[in-house]
Amino acid sequence: MGLALALERLGALVVEGVTSYAPGETPDALSSAQLPALVIAPEWGGGWPGLEPSALAAGFGRLEARIAQALLFAPVAAGGGTRGMLPALAAVIDAYMDALAADPTLGGALIQPARVQVRIGVLPYGGIDYHAATFAHEWVLRVAVSG
């Protein structure tokens, strides 16, 4: 198990009515038919440093990672305003959290359940501003130490 597997499983998270993209499959821009969409983008995690230094012991290592997955809901230019989008966006956030709660360790890729913070606002993606929610994940993974 490792970071690549955890990212793959996060990208495969099934949320009804939402298109999920794995990191290597994320398009540069989205069409309206692809919305709402979930994309993984570590830079959206805020001031987090990314991969943290981890303690390693003979045969076992612990890796702490902070990953952001964004739910791009609708273009801001489509109108409606954030308050107008909030009820529908909240319903999709609830569906996302339900899907994650059904598998909080991403099929065993994490050694403890993911911790997630949610922020609602506007995110730029592919030159377009979207009404969005950012799910900032904190993960703890086991890494094998060879040698």
Tell which wins on pLDDT, 79 or 88: 88
Tell me if the bond preceding 36 is cis, omega within 30° of 0.
yes
**Residue 54 and residue 24: Cα distance in Å, rounded?**
26
pLDDT at 49 over 50: no
Q: What gap in Å lies between CA 3 and CA 60, rounded to an integer?
A: 15
The predicted structure's pLDDT at residue 50: 47
Can you say how many angstroms the Cα of residue 22 is from the centroid of all Cα atoms in its chain?
10
Reported as a pLDDT band with limits 50, 70 and 90, residue 143 is confident
Q: Taking residues 91-96, what's their average pLDDT? A: 97
pLDDT at 55 > cutoff 90: no
Q: Are strands 115-125 and 128-143 parallel, antiparallel or unpaired?
A: antiparallel
- Exposure on the CB side of residue 109, measured as CA atoms within 13 A: 19
Q: How far is CA 28 from the centre of its chain?
A: 17
Q: Which of 40-49, 74-83, 84-93, 123-132 has the lowest mean pLDDT?
A: 40-49
Strands 60-75 and 56-57: antiparallel
Contact 99, 13 (CB under 8 A): yes
Structure tokens at 131: 């009404």
Other Cβ atoms less than 10 A from the Cβ of 113: the count is: 14
pTM (two decimals)? 0.86
Closest Cα to residue 69, out of 4, 140, 133?
133
